[in-house]
Every structure is written in C-alpha cells, then in structure tokens.
Amino acid sequence: SRYGTLGADLVLELSRLSPLPFTTMGGIKKAHLRDLFLRGVKTVAMVTEISLAPDVAGRVRELMEEIRSGTAGAADMPDAETE
C-alpha cells in the first residue's frame, strides 16, 4: 500500500489518540489474533483468511476460539454459528 504496514504497536498508539472506534484490517491472520486482542484491539476484519479457507465454517469457528482466548470478556463474544 502507499502508506506501508502500520504494525500492532502503531495501531495501538493511534487508538489511544482517537476517541473514534475503528476496525483493524489488512493482512490479519489467525496467528495475529491473540496478540492483537490481548493488546487491546476491539475489532478486526478478515477477508482472505476466511474466504480462501477450504472449510469456511470450520475456519470461522477456529478464529472465534482464537479471539476468545485473547479476550478477557470472552463470554460477551457472539457465537460464530449465530452470527
């Protein structure tokens, strides 16, 4: 992209400066989720990690479990099968 990769540190720094909610998107993979949510990210958007999976429903379940493992409020997370 024209602006390059921001990285988790800069995204979190920017989030502290803005009163507005935002979604973290672009190149996010399953391996990034736990760290992002443990560091305070509230929302992510994933496209190719889901759309290119051979078993989309299975991949969404895996991703939701990974997100739950990185969030303190896991009970507040919606169930992947009801979304």
Report the distance separating Cα 11 and Cα 5, nearest Å. Answer: 10
**pLDDT on residue 1:** 55
**pLDDT on residue 38:** 78
Per-residue confidence of the chain (83 residues) as pLDDT tens digits?
576 777 778 878 887 888 888 777 788 899 888 888 877 777 888 999 999 999 999 999 999 988 887 764 434 444 444 34
C-alpha closest to that of 80 among 53, 41, 7, 8: 53
**pLDDT on residue 6:** 76
